[in-house]
Structure 1
Amino acid sequence: MSNSLHEVKTRIDSTKSTAQTTKAMYMVSQSKVRRAEKAYKDYQSFMNSVASMVTSVVTKAGIDYSHPLLTKRDVKKTCYLIVTSDRGLAGAYNANTFKALEQTLETHSSKDEFIVTSIGRKGFSYIEQKGYPTIDHEPILVRDDVMFIDIVPLAEKIIDLYLVGTIDRLVIIYNHYVNSLTQEIKETELLPITALNGEVKDIDYIYESGIEKTLDMMLPMYLEDMIYGIILDAKTSEHSSRMNSMRSASDNADEVISKLQLLYNRARQNVITTELIDIIGGANAIGGKE
């Protein structure tokens, strides 16, 4: 019985240690969610201004203006960009992204119709494991302090592939942050650029190089801005998913501890009862001899 007590006590101590770790990770993730959410919302304000400016300039260029990044064409090959995390312990964050990707890829008849690339170490490893056609580039890590400059090289490669006709469409798949309890998978088409829904402002801009050359510079930067904004959105979802995962793990650990503690108390009570019976039995035996 003492061995059984020792085993239960060891399990209690081990589970308490795990609970301390998950609670600490929950608190860290909770703090990161607040910071990431603020960064995302601040960037959204900036993006609204950029979208308004780009929309205004395109509108000013007139209906006869045509740019490769704005023009729809027959789709022969699609590039899928997935946003994942670098680390695990984030619940179904990455699994949901991979599931959405697989469901989308099933609509293609062959691998010749798509290429897949990733932002985030988990996605990079997944693509490599699956053997999907991809873009040759260094893994882009989604650190907590991920910066705009980090995504520029990949964005420029994708734009170049689009301009030369290697790909005809860019779709990004990611976890959109709704609130601290809810994240939803989104698939957003970024190329060709069609989301020119910014507020058109009647501002008489001065174009030193002409309106067309100005748009040649603005449109690629606008695409890069959109990708970075989505990464900030996804990063908030990642922290939120990890926070909820750690909270659930902590709650489960507390429940296990309660059950083990009850089991331990019952076992200890049985030991004490057995010892009392032995003592009383021994005392009665001695009394009987006298």
Structure 2
Amino acid sequence: MPNLRELRSRIRSIESTSRVTKALQMIAAAKMKKAQDKVLDGRAYSEKLNAIIGNVYQSNPEVFSSISEDEKNKILVLLVTPDRGLCGALVSNILKEASNFIESINNDYEIRVIGKKGTSFISKTVDNYESYKVSDMPTFEEVSPITSSISNDINLIGFAKVFIIYTEFVSTAVQKPKIKQLLPVEINFDENEKVNNEFLYEPSLDKVSEALIPRYVETSIFNSILDSVASEHSARLVAMQNATDNANELKQDLTLDLNKARQQQVTSEILDIVGGALALEE
């Protein structure tokens, strides 16, 4: 068993670590609430936009097929990751998902990365890539230059397919890596959701589609960033809470060992005193 000095030193060290993890937990809790609210607000807009695109697709599916035609057959991959660690297995899960997906691509491809963790990972595996940075609480105005740049590249280069890899926020305890195909647009709806009405487009269908598709791409990228941010703060909250609980349990165990060691020391000293007294009497 370690001596009293070693046990006291370990307890002080664990108490210091516990205070740090508790502070990180409280910071993550405050940021998580704001990030979750942004995700829910963004999803409401995204669902309405997807409904509009679904109506256009049902009445004029050729618009989407013509947009996705590409002779170069090149693929664009957008990877969204956190900037920092201390969030459990979230970073490793999204990087593992991205690595498996990139290895499965047989065509020529380009990569855009948002987040320091993804940039560090991609820089070790790919030579040519572009990286972007966003804050802890990104706004649409902040992300707009990034989404506009990517949208312009899609129009200029003419990618056959565009995929985005990010962490989908499900709940505080659940975050899932997700691969979403942005282009060609994939519309999934039930038979009950189909609308048989004819739509009139003003000024024209081409003009509406030219404005609708870039907005869809930019909104999807922005929502994926919000999902990733909310997932990061939620995962960090859970990880720091577990770390704080483990530190408190370890502190209790060490305190018990310290009390046992002190008791043994006191008992040993008493026995020495009693033994010495008996020796003097003899």
> How many Å apart are 1:77 and its aligned residue?
2.5
Partner of 1:156: 148
TM-score by length of 1: 0.84
Q: Which aligned pairs between 1:9-88 and structure 2 lie closer than 5 A?
A: 9-57=8-56, 62-65=60-63, 68-69=66-67, 71=68, 73=70, 76-88=73-85
Question: In percent, how many aligned pairs have the same letter?
Answer: 29
1:213 aligns to 2:237 (yes or no): no
Tell me how far 1:12 sits from its aligned partner: 0.3
Q: Does the 8 Å contact 1:76/1:113 carry over to 2?
A: yes
Q: What does residue 133 of structure 2 align with?
A: 140
RMSD: 2.8
Q: Displacement, 1:165?
A: 3.9
Q: Which residue of 1 aligns with 2:124?
A: 129
Give 1:50's aligned amino acid. L
Work out the CA distance in 2 between the residues paired with 1:151 and 1:126: 22
CA contact (8 A) 1:100 1:185 kept: yes
Query: Contact between 1:183 and 1:237, CA under 8 Å: does it hold in 2?
Result: yes
Cα distance, 1:9–1:215 mapped onto 2, change above 3 Å: same
What SS does the aligned partner of 1:188 have? strand
**Contact 2:201-2:208 within 8 A present in 1 as well:** no
What is residue 256 of structure 2 aligned with on the other side?
Answer: 262
Work out whether residues 167 and 231 of structure 2, in 8 Å CA contact, stay in contact via their aligned partners in 1. yes
> How far off is 1:97 after superposition?
1.0
The answer on whether the counterparts of 1:140 and 1:150 sit within 8 Å (CA) in structure 2 is no
Corresponding residue SS for 1:85:
coil
Q: Is the 8 A contact 1:96 1:185 kept in 2?
A: yes
Number of residue pairs aligned between Structure 1 and Structure 2: 279
The Cα offsets for residues 213-271 of structure 1, whole Å up to 9 and x where unpaired, read as: 23212220121011111211222111111111111211221221122112211211111
- Alignment-derived partner of residue 98 in structure 1: 95
Per the TM alignment, residue 199 of structure 1 is displaced from its structure 2 partner at its CA by 7.9
Q: Deviation digits for residues 39-58 of structure 1, max 9, x if unmatched?
A: 21122112222223344455
Match of 1:250 in 2: 244
Q: TM-score, normalised by structure 2?
A: 0.86
Q: Aligned equivalents of 1:165 and 1:265: distance in 2? A: 71
Unaligned runs of 5+ in 2: none
Q: What displacement does 1:128 show? A: 1.8
Q: CA deviation at 1:79?
A: 1.6
Runs of 5+ unmatched residues, structure 1: none
The residue aligned with 2:165 is 173
**Structure-2 separation of matches of 1:256 and 1:287:** 47
1:75 and 1:169 in contact (8 A); partners too = no
Kept in 2: contact 1:159–1:220 (CA 8 A):
yes
